[in-house]
Structure 1
Amino acid sequence: MPLGIVIRRMPGVTRWAKWHWRAVAVLPGARPADWAELRRDGETVEYHAATKALTLWATDTEAYLTNLADKVPSIYVVLRESSDRNKPLEVLLVTASPYEGQDYADNGEDIVEKVAMPDGLAAWVRRFAQEHHEDEAFVKRRRDKKRVDLTEDGKGDARIRQVSDVYRAPRRMMP
């Protein structure tokens, strides 16, 4: 489903940041756009920055259900700073998976904005997740009986005979 991304530009609150940019809404079924101005109120401007496809995967239904169980179901918008002054942010992707959003947040280069999901979109995601979700049985890992405490790490190569520890201080040879 195509989702239009609405980004708001507001005046910065410090002298180091002239503008504050934030993803504030998604527009389900939007047409392609390239930073089209939607609304202006003084210095605050909202742009339809881009339209990205929201793709749902049958293997991610657990993540979608986790998102829908949240107090406010959300779409995660992944943004990256751009060198273009007219388009300071590039919209990389939109996802309904909080796990995928967390993966992008962990890299430190991308900005991940959590935007409230409209009710119609939440119903669409819920229907998809319920149709494709399969519960996975929990399988407890069993330990094998192998003894791992019998080897001494750091004693050097087992193929080379050593009188003592290889980390010993070398002896000084006297002429």
Structure 2
Amino acid sequence: MYRTLPVGVVLRKTPGVTRWAAWSWTASAVLPGAGAADWRELRREGEAVEYHAATLALELHGAETEAYLHGLTAKVPSLYVVMRDDADGDCPLDVLLVTASPYEAQDYTDSGEEIVEKVPMPAGLIAWVREFVEEFHEDEVFVKRRRDKKRIDLVQDGVGDARISQISDVYASPARKRRLH
């Protein structure tokens, strides 16, 4: 219950819209079945440049079919590209993961350290994921929990731990001392 497919990630670099960010990076496309790549330039339109930044294995697991099914039923079925800023390296972003699971993508957004981009799936990739889900997905049967038969309306038979001796009633209020004037 495990399948993989190499998927290329295309990143698009455009000029930033503020003076604090010189460039804006987005994941613009995925390339199913792509070969190895290391920031190869694909296309240039003015100042906008698209790079085949990396090729990673898209892994599908049988235990995650519910998540894949949720992603396929979205208005636009998508893959999620997880990246991290790489200030020390030659490339501005390090592509970490490509996933078809919106649940896994959500886990990466929780930390705030990674950048998660949603990229529409090509038709062939939608068919590949759908075939996997149809083969391995099993609906979980809802089982209603039944209450136990313990009676809760009975009188309490003791106070506290029976192994510890009690000098007085633990619920009694302290005795008031009366003073004579």
- The TM-score, its normalising length taken from structure 2, stands at 0.78
Q: SS in structure 2 opposite 1:66?
A: helix
Deviation of 1:141 after TM superposition, in Å, equals: 3.8
Deviations 1:111-134 (A, max 9, x none): 110000000000000000000001
User: Mind listing any 5+ residue stretches in structure 2 that lack a counterpart?
Assistant: 157-163, 171-181
Q: Which amino acid aligns with 2:43?
A: R
The partner residue of 2:42 within 38, 49, 69 is 38
* Amino-acid identity (%): 66
Partner of 1:79: 83
Q: Residues 97-151 of structure 1: CA distance to partner in whole angstroms, max 9, x if unpaired?
A: 000010111111101100000000000000000000011111234556597xx9x
How far did residue 43 of structure 1 move?
A: 1.1
SS in 2 for 1:131: helix
* Structure with higher strand content: 2
Count of residues in correspondence between the two structures: 156
- Separation (CA, whole Å) in 2 of partners of 1:138 and 1:32: 45
Cα offsets for 1:28-63 (capped at 9, x unmatched): 000010100001111110000000000000011111
**Alpha-carbon distance in 2 for matches of 1:16, 1:44:** 18
Among 129, 133, 137, which residue is 1:133 paired with? 137
Instruction: Calculate the aligned-residue CA RMSD, in Å.
Output: 2.4
> Whose Rg is larger?
2
Q: Which runs of 4+ in 1 moved over 2 A?
A: 139-147
CA distance in 1, matches of 2:46, 2:88: 23
Gaps of 5+ in 1: 151-158, 165-175
- After TM superposition, the score normalised by the length of structure 1 is 0.81
Aligned mates of 2:72, 2:151 — CA distance in 1? 44
